[in-house]
Amino acid sequence: MKIAFIGLGNMGLPMAKNLAEAGHEVTGFDTASVDAPFPTARSATDAVNGAEMVITMLPNGNILRSVATEIIPAMADGAVFLDCSTVDVESARAVAEQANAAGLGALDAPVSGGIGGAQGGTLTFMVGGDQAAFEKAKPLFDTMGKKAVHCGQSGNGQAAKICNNMILGATMIVTCEAFALADKLGLDRQAMFDVVSTSSGYSWSMNAYCPAPGIGPQSPADNDYTPGFAAELMLKDLSLAMAAAENADADTPIGRAARDLYRAFVEDEGGTGRDFSAMLPRFAARGHTQS
């Protein structure tokens, strides 16, 4: 398949590499200089020329809207606009409407799995949009990831991503709180893990991504909290979730509390550039009276 890939950052570049290595004809574009093992274009519009599939991996909804306005008029008839960015639901739906009006397919397909998943081709895609466009993109999802779930109409991929990450952010916080409490009660961290990971408190945050160094499977905690998923990205996703909750008139007090804690951690407590599980040393250093 002839593919244009716009946004060759930490996630986009390895995803595009996997497509090229699978035999697809990939042309990339990024505003920054990138050392890519496939051709790159001088502009986004040049990159999409003749492409059957245009994939974007961009930082936010405003940039997505700007890029969409630029490239949609240059896209080939019947091509599919596949956005893998994590953005607000409203931007995803606006871009899909713009693409559909131009006779193009449109999919919003944010990912889970982080940089490691992008490099290893083990991402999970949460996909919103037309079924026919999903079927056309399915072989690419199979190359870049291990699973793609069609979640329904345009915007539903983003909805699934932010709901998932609201759960993840909240469960990581309470997992870190529980370890800090266990420490102060004199409970050994390994014993804590052995009980919780096989009891009703088990979760992905505990069992697969334990925030306590030396406990459970290898995780960023074992590498001084070098990010697998950065705290500032969790803050971004929780902020998107809270904006969506406001727009949908949904009551999400735990999600809001998690957003506020990550905001304080990132903006006021040196959390930028650390893994989102670095909440554990943050809680371990605090006392009961601190808010």
Q: How many domains, the chain?
A: 2
The CA distance from 15 to 22, in Å, is 11
CATH number of the structural domain spanning residue 186? 1.10.1040.10
38 domain-assigned: yes
Does residue 291 surpass a pLDDT of 90?
no
291 domain-assigned: no
Closest by alpha carbon to 269, among 281, 258, 253, 287? 281
Domain of residue 8, residue span: 2-152
pLDDT in the model for residue 290: 66
142 shares a domain with 275: no
Burial of 268 (0-12, 13-18, 19+ CB in 10 A): exposed
**pLDDT tens digit string along 175-223?**
999 999 999 999 999 999 999 999 999 999 999 999 999 999 999 999 9
Q: Active-site residue 161, yes or no?
A: yes
90 shares a domain with 53: yes
The amino acid present at 56, given as its one-letter code, is T
141 shares a domain with 85: yes
249 shares a domain with 190: yes
For 54, other C-beta atoms within 10 Å of its C-beta total: 30
20 shares a domain with 124: yes
55 shares a domain with 13: yes
End-to-end CA distance of the chain: 54
- Max alpha carbon distance in the chain (Å)? 66
Point out the catalytic residue in the list 17, 136, 161, 236: 161
**Token digits for 211?**
């925030």
Q: What are phi and psi of 257, to 5 degrees?
A: -65, -40
